[in-house]
Chains A and B, each alone.
Chain A
Amino acid sequence: MSTSTISLKELERKAFRSAYQDGLMDIYLGGTIASFTVFAETLQSTDGLTTWQRFLIFLAGCVISNLIFWVGKIFITVPRIGQVKFRPARQRRIRTLIIVLSVIVGVQVAIVAFQVALWQIPALRSWLGFPEIPQSMGTLIVAVVGALFVGPGMTVMAYFIDFPRGYYIAAVWSLGVFCLVWFDSALFYLAAGLLIILPGIFLFIRFVIQHPLPPRELLNG
């Protein structure tokens, strides 16, 4: 007989996290991230696509990822593990997440705007006493700022939506952005997206095997 104690908090968390066991969130995030590869500067100089065509490809990637997520949830996950509504505390966490993310994005936009201003207006740079940044150092700064642009946001999101694999996604995504800029190769960013999608596909297959569809007459009768 098990001697472990029953924690109501853990019970609620386990019930909440059961929504992520199907891997669909990973596939959705990975797909969206991978779609963004089409905007990589290195591709823009070689593939001959217009900005609109590029945007349409990105949009198609987002729509397909979204469709996979919702169709999977409605027709595969819910019939297998059922549905649940959580208490208002979870809603409050989502509201807090929105506020925190807004602040983070606001700070990031301010940092980037300041950075661009320093590059574009030499007078401002000299007035503030910042030294001129060499080309190699500039690339490093862009790579670090890019990584910091996506990492903290995803980490905060993972914390507030109680999604442990979100920390892995934050790390892989940040590394993908850094490598994209530093090595000037879109392959790294695409690889980051695939490294997020692959565990999702594995989890999805495992979920379908472990949770066979209950007989039709038992489904919420």
Chain B
Amino acid sequence: MAETPSTDLAALNDIDRLIHEPGRLMLMALLYVVRSADFTFLMSQTGLTWGNLSAHMTRLEEAGYIQVEKSFKGRRPNTMLSLTPQGREAFKIYRRNMKHILDDLPE
């Protein structure tokens, strides 16, 4: 059954604010399209500084949206980041909600 378009701006409240922040949105989008990536790759693709990236990652990890896998390659630490199933689902919902809300806006 087709959903009736809502005229209630309160629908915007359903948007996941944790993902909505531009820096975190970039990270979530990037991690959504790959299986996993390390800090250096995320920095080179998003242009975020190490400090910013680290802060966003901590927030997303606390929310259970990303998982951090630490290992060693030889003597060098290697940290790979990936979306958890919960993070993947949250991003899907965020994307659907944003499309849904913005699609019917007049020009």
B1-55 residues at the A interface, CB under 8 angstroms = 29-30, 32-45, 50
CA distance A82 to B78 in the complex (A): 10
CB distance from B55 to the nearest CB of A (A): 14
Q: A82-B43, A219-B76 known; A8 and B32 CB under 8 Å?
A: yes
- Selected A-B contacts with CB under 8 Å, 27 pairs: A6-B29, A8-B29, A9-B33, A11-B29, A11-B30, A12-B33, A15-B34, A15-B37, A15-B45, A78-B40, A81-B41, A81-B44, A82-B39, A82-B41, A82-B44, A83-B40, A84-B34, A84-B37, A84-B41, A85-B37, A85-B80, A87-B33, A211-B44, A220-B39, A220-B78, A220-B79, A221-B77
Expressed in whole angstroms, the minimum distance between the Cβ of B82 and any Cβ of chain A is 8
Q: Which residues of B contact A9 (CB under 8 A)?
A: 33
Please indicate the chain B residues that have their CB under 8 angstroms from the CB of A219 in the complex: 40, 76
Contact residues of B: prevailing secondary structure: helix
The answer for the CA separation of A86 and B31 in the assembled complex, in Å, is 10
- Counted as pairs of residues, one from A and one from B, with CB atoms less than 8 Å apart, the total is 74
In the complex, the answer to whether B40 meets A214 with C-beta atoms within 8 Å is yes
In Å, the complex CA distance between A221 and B73 comes to 12
A18 adjacent to B35 (CB under 8 Å): no
Residues from chain B with Cβ under 8 Å of A214 in the complex: 40, 43, 50
Interface residue count on the A side (C-beta < 8 Å): 25
Please indicate the chain A residues that have their CB under 8 angstroms from the CB of B44 in the complex: 18, 80-82, 211
Q: Chain B interface (Cβ within 8 Å of chain A)?
A: 29-30, 32-45, 50, 76-80
User: Do A221 and B39 touch (CB < 8 A)?
Assistant: yes
Nearest residue, chain A, Cβ from B39: A220
Chain B residues with Cβ under 8 A from A199's Cβ?
none
- Whether A220 and B38, one on each chain, are in contact in the complex, defined by CB atoms closer than 8 angstroms, is yes
Q: Which residues does chain B contribute within 8 Å of A6, judged by CB atoms? A: 29
How distant is the Cα of A46 from the Cα of B30 in the complex, in angstroms? Answer: 56
Within the complex, what minimum Cβ distance (angstroms) separates A101 from chain B? Answer: 25
CB distance from A57 to the nearest CB of B (A): 34
Kindly identify, within residues 63 to 81 of chain A, every residue whose CB is under 8 Å from any CB belonging to chain B. 78-81
Q: In this assembly, does A99 line the interface, its C-beta being within 8 Å of a C-beta of chain B?
A: no
Interface residue? A128 (CB, 8 A): no
A82 to B79, CA, bound (A): 10
A177 → chain B closest CB, angstroms: 37
